[in-house]
Structure 1
Amino acid sequence: MQTVTLTTCDNAAEAHLLQGALANAGIESVLTNEYTASTLPNLCGMMGMGVTVVVLAKDYDRARQLLNTLSPASGQPCCPYCGSTDIGTSLGRRRGLKAFFAFLSLLAWTPLGNIKTSYRCRRCGEDFSKPAPSPGQTPGDRITGTPPDTNPEAEQ
């Protein structure tokens, strides 16, 4: 049977949640690169690798539809402090230290490591690590379980 890659997750926990949601919908899936991503998270973050979720080719359309329902709404993210949608990326707190290590890694020809993206609100000036969901979207919208219309047991 032919398999196709559904998506790549940043970590094993997210991939297992997705795999559970797929199993609830009756879609078989396999995780690849799980141990590499868990053992070497910095390397995987730099190279764009992660835990890959693979499904059968015949189930790909249903799995993609389920993935789209589990993903957050495509609205504009906003600042958790003031609600503004005028946000941008930044180095966050300890800017000088992060810039120093970036410069040091360039001199030593070594990988930078796992520097996470921070966001800065252009309206209130606050730094934060994760944007708030758009209005009308709740924080738990990412993976909440199987939608009722994709559960094969619900039809019986």
Structure 2
Amino acid sequence: MSIIRLMTCETAIEANLIKGRLKNEGIEVFITNENFSNLMPHYNHILNSGIQIMLHETDYDNARTLLGLNAKTELICPNCQSKNIKMGLGKNKIRKIIAIIMSLLIFTPFNNLNSVYYCKDCKSEF
């Protein structure tokens, strides 16, 4: 029986709420990278870091069902209700690319470069 990652959370509060919910249902879980992510939050999402919820492989499907992670959600533009959506760097693409290059040159991440959803029909970001 191996241990696998269920999901990665942004904050310790979110991770502990999910951990409590799963433990109440009898699923044994534990959290990794909590201290590192609290000390260095700008490293979240770099090299797959973040607060990770780990569990036994046999409990994986049950935990996903309990948390509603199996439900497929389809992205719809809030402005025009289109389903023609893509993910990208957004309107400030040049600034984000410059930040990536600068962070590579001086070996320090400046900020989390969050991707945004972009509607190809009405050109809005969300």
Measured against the shorter chain, the TM-score band is 0.7 to 0.9
Partner of 2:63: 66
Partner of 1:86: 84
Structure 1 segments, 4+ long, off by >6 Å, are: none
How far residue 108 of structure 1 moved from its aligned partner, in angstroms, is 3.3
What SS is found at the alignment partner of 1:16?
A: helix
What SS is found at the alignment partner of 1:52?
A: strand
- 1:92·1:120 contact (CA, 8 Å) conserved in 2? yes
User: Among 49, 74, 77, which residue is 1:76 paired with?
Assistant: 74
What SS is found at the alignment partner of 1:97?
A: helix
- The aligned runs of 1:65-144 (5 Å cut-off) are 65-70=62-67, 71=69, 73-111=71-109, 113-128=111-126
The count of corresponding residues between Structure 1 and Structure 2 is 124
CA displacement 1:43-87 (0-9 Å, x = unmatched): 2311102222233x4xx4345323234216214222122221111
TM-score, scaled relative to structure 1 = 0.65
CA shift in 2, pair 1:107/1:50, >3 Å: closer
- The gaps in structure 2 that reach 5 residues or longer are none
- 1:3·1:54 contact (CA, 8 Å) conserved in 2? no
TM-score, scaled relative to structure 2 = 0.77
Larger Rg: 1
Q: Sequence identity of aligned pairs in percent?
A: 28
